[in-house]
């Protein structure tokens, strides 16, 4: 699924390679789509599909860079503000 989405974007750009930013946007879109599906499957009580979509979200997230947590952001902000 991930490889297909990235390849489709590449094809849409006449075969030119996609950069990291574009790759991250594609992955973020895939996650958003799956989260919307999870919401719908939750409402429909479709547990089998809900579990599958949740697993796909976790898989796709492994390809994205780790987001900075509060414990990393707060000290950095304090340092920059004290300058």
- pLDDT per residue over 46-70, tens digit each? 989 999 999 999 999 999 988 878 8
Residue 83 has pLDDT above 80, yes or no: no
pTM equals: 0.76
CA atoms within 13 A on the CB side of 44: 11
Q: Which helix (H) or strand (E) holds 79?
A: helix 70-81
Is residue 30 a contact partner of residue 62, using CB atoms and an 8 Å limit? no
Residue 60, helix vs strand vs coil: helix
How high is the pLDDT of residue 52?
A: 94
């Amino acid at each position: 699924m991930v490889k297909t989405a990235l390849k489709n974007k590449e094809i849409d750009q006449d075969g030119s390679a996609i950069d990291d930013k574009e790759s991250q946007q594609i992955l973020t879109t895939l996650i958003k789509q799956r989260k919307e599906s999870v919401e719908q499957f939750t409402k429909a009580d479709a547990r089998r599909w809900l579990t599958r979509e949740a697993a796909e979200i976790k898989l796709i997230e492994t390809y994205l860079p780790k987001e900075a947590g509060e414990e990393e952001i707060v000290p950095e902000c304090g340092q920059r503000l004290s300058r």
